[in-house]
Amino acid sequence: MSDGFPGYTPVHGDTVQLTADTLVVTITGKITSRGVLRDGAGFAELVLPDGDPQQRRDLERATWLHYRLYGGGALLYSSGHLQVRDVRRDADGALVVAGSP
């Protein structure tokens, strides 16, 4: 478990507890946490199933987030307090939320 940058190797889980501004939600499904380097800056990316349009809209309006990723009930990764930098869909239609310290 980490409380810093997630690293460049993706971590796959099945449940995420996500807090963003006033949104507090638990999401299940195929979830990935990974670190990416873009324009010399490190970002934590969380890839979620995009099953609820309202959650997507809430995340697009959010200014900060924190998440805890679980796999089989075990905590795999806990992010720090992140500023939301990007919310988008990837080529497969999954929701991608990127944040940085």
Query: Looking at the domain assignment, is residue 2 inside a domain?
Result: no
Q: Report yes or no on 5 lying in a domain.
A: no
* E strand or H helix at 54: helix 53-61
Cβ–Cβ < 8 Å for 39, 100: no
Residue 39 sits in a domain whose CATH number is 2.40.10
Structural domain includes residue 4: no
Q: Does any domain span residue 31?
A: yes
What does the pLDDT read at residue 51?
73
Among 29, 27, 31, 28, residue whose Cα is nearest residue 12:
31
Distance from chain centroid for Cα 60: 13
Euclidean distance between CA atoms 5 and 86, whole angstroms: 17
**DSSP 8-state secondary structure symbol assigned to residue 92:** T
pLDDT of 86 strictly over 70:
yes
CA 20 to chain centre: 10
* pLDDT > 80? residue 87: yes
Domain count within the chain: 1
Domain that holds residue 25: 11-100
Kindly state whether residue 23 falls inside one of the protein's structural domains.
yes
Q: Could you tell me if residue 25 is inside a domain?
A: yes
In a domain, 6, yes or no: no
Give tens-digit pLDDT for 38-82.
887 788 999 998 778 888 889 999 999 999 999 999 999 999 899
